[in-house]
A and B are shown apart, each in its own frame.
Chain A
Amino acid sequence: MFQAGATGIAPADIAKFFENLLAHEKSLLQAAVACGAGQAGSVKQLPTLKQVAKLLYRLSLIPVEAQAQSPLPFRPFLGPFLATFHDQLTGLYTDLPAPPGVAPAGAVSASGVGYPSTPATTPPSLERTAINALAFLTNVLSCDEYKVELLAHHATSSSSRAVTATGDQEMSAAAVSEAAGVVNGFFTLERCQSLLDLCIHRLLPLRTPDLEEWEGDPEAYQLSHASLTREESPRAAAEYFVVCLLYKRSDTLAPLLAQLLSDTAGLQAAAAAEAAGAPGGSVSAEVLTWDARLLAAGLCAEPLAATGLDFSAWFMNTLAPCLTVLAAAPASADAPPPVLRRRLLWLVGVWMGQMQEAIRPSLVEALVQMLTACASGCNAAVSLTLLRTLNCAVDNWEFNVEAFLPLTGATVTGLYGILGTFSELDARLQVR
């Protein structure tokens, strides 16, 4: 009765299954949102709502995996699922307050602990569904099978078969064109702009639970967030999505991001606000917004460089003065997390390859001075980022050994001093 190869499933049944999947997912999410709205302000999460959240995650996982495994056969369902996931994503994060606030009930999960990768959705516990929505949009954006210009790389002239990780698949020019038409029709310029705006101003900024975690144990915070994957963190998923979005629409979105970054006065004001932060005070919203913008700048280095952004000039005119202001600020154990200082150091490390050779020695010297200062007491998250940036500078192909020789003693002393400030083995391994 059950003979191997008896593949008796009609395409219409498959199509009906995915249509049902789409319809039930939409209805379940609406029901979950309605339940969550009725539960607003409640700390304890209802068991039914918790189970529905799990179900929603499982439901949304099927189209995500199906698209990733069979991109071209999935194309009849691309349009509906793209629209659905987009609406879900915007719906789940539109009600978020400006950073560092979180959704009213999202700060605390059922276990009483903040979700490890904020921002939280509205209603809470749907973060994994949001991650799936982001993963679907990211996968579609970066899928080579939906790019007409890459058709020749997949199919040979004598056959329309393409060798994939899941076996041979048919690949015809008509199918690729149809899928590409759906994708390009969906990701219009306006939609891409709104999605970029959503990511930069809603998903990427740090939120209250992040800052509390940072204040509680800076070293553990830095180490755990450095290892977050896009499967477990909405913010990490958003980072991937921003990169794909910028590469997809680099001609229009990269200038937009460059324009955001060109607000020198705004960045200097944010740096001044962080430098003047009172002990026990909170991180201002403008600092968090600039942290997110600079994160996007580091992620999308190549599209930004293609727009003509001169990183060396930007560093000398804007970033270096900000770093100077932040480094001159008095260190205090009760001070709020140095968000902008850590981000600026990270950005310098990411863009190290783009720096002009003439300014690299002085930059390395400044980094070594910061290392010496950090050895006598500094936020561990900043210390770890500084070590990474210094490592990027030394590992650079055009690293000037002769210019570094006079700094060797100070560097070794600084590294030795900073080693004692870490308690975790993973952190100490960064000193190398």
Chain B
Amino acid sequence: MFIPIRQLHLHDIIVDLVLMMWAACLYDMRQSSDLAIARAVYMLHRVLKELSTKRLARDRAALAAVSVQLFPVLAEVWVARSSQLLAALGPWAATHSSSAAVDDEALVPLAELVTHLIKCLYRITLCGFPNTMQVQRRDYMIYSLPLLNQLTL
């Protein structure tokens, strides 16, 4: 049955989708294969990218809500995966400098995963947090604003 898009609570659907992705992502970080993790993070990146371009206050509030939950998890996963990449890059560079035949693309999936993680963190850090000063003044309207605005002077 065709449902006009205006009758849907679009932002609720987006929030639900983000949360589902986040839950899947969190689950996959601990349980699933590297491929599943890469796909979950990629999906999360695409959803966050869309959500961060929203301008309506309600959509921004939705992004702010999920950002609080996503930030610690993503930051932790990013540090772990980035450390893994750094640890692998050293021997890889040494092998290449010795001109030995090595698999050039062995580290590409891991590097792509870390790139998508940092893209997610970019969206969250720069678009996903409300301005605390506006929260104090008008708690019914939350704007998503840079993470650093959380810091008090």
Which residues from chain A contact B147 at a C-beta distance below 8 Å?
9, 14, 66
B61 is an interface residue with CB less than 8 A from chain A: yes
Which residue of A35, A70, A168 is within 8 Å of B146 (Cβ)?
A: A70
> How many chain B residues touch the partner (CB < 8 A)?
60
Within 8 A of B (CB), among A52-111: 52, 54-55, 58-59, 61-62, 65-66, 69-70, 72-74, 76
**A55 B131 Cβ-Cβ under 8 A:** no
- Closest residue of A by beta carbon distance from B143: A167
Question: Cβ of A28: which chain B residues have Cβ within 8 Å of it?
Answer: 82, 85-86, 89
Residues of A within 8 A of B35 (CB): none
Q: In the complex the two chains form, is B96's CB within 8 Å of A39's CB?
A: yes
A37 touches B66 (CB 8 A): no
Binding site for B on A (CB under 8 A): 1-9, 11, 13-14, 17, 20, 24, 27-28, 31, 34-35, 37-39, 46-48, 51-52, 54-55, 58-59, 61-62, 65-66, 69-70, 72-74, 76, 161, 166-172, 174-175
B115 touches A31 (CB 8 A): no
> Complex formed: what's the CA distance from A62 to B148 in Å?
11
Q: Is the CB of A9 within 8 A of B108?
A: no
Complex interface: chain B residues within 8 A of A39 (CB): 96
Q: How far is the CB of A238 from the nearest CB of chain B, in Å?
A: 25
Contact across chains for B115 and A169 when beta carbons are under 8 A apart:
no
The 8 closest A-B pairs by CB, nearest first: A38-B97, A70-B148, A51-B111, A4-B61, A2-B65, A31-B89, A73-B148, A167-B131
In the assembled complex, the Cα of A17 lies from the Cα of B71 at a distance in Å of: 10
Residues of chain A within 8 A (CB-CB) of B32 are none
The A interface is mostly helix, strand or loop, or mixed, namely helix
Residues on A with C-beta less than 8 A from B79 are 20, 24
| 23 A–B contacts, CB within 8 A, in A order | A2-B19, A2-B65, A5-B130, A6-B68, A9-B71, A9-B129, A9-B147, A11-B150, A14-B150, A17-B71, A34-B89, A38-B98, A47-B105, A48-B108, A48-B111, A55-B111, A55-B115, A62-B122, A62-B125, A62-B126, A65-B126, A66-B148, A170-B152
Residues of chain A lying within 8 A (CB to CB) of residue B106: 48
B65 adjacent to A54 (CB under 8 Å): no
Contact B104 A46 (CB under 8 A): yes
Establish whether residues A69 and B112, one from each chain, have CB atoms under 8 Å apart when the complex forms. Answer: no
| Interface positions of B from 61 to 90, Cβ below 8 Å from A | 61-62, 64-66, 68-69, 71-72, 75, 78-79, 82-83, 85-86, 89-90
Q: Is B3 an interface residue (CB 8 A)?
A: no
Contact A34 B68 (CB under 8 A): no
Q: How far is the CA of A35 from the CA of B64 in the complex (A)?
A: 39
Cβ–Cβ contact B86 & A27, under 8 A: yes
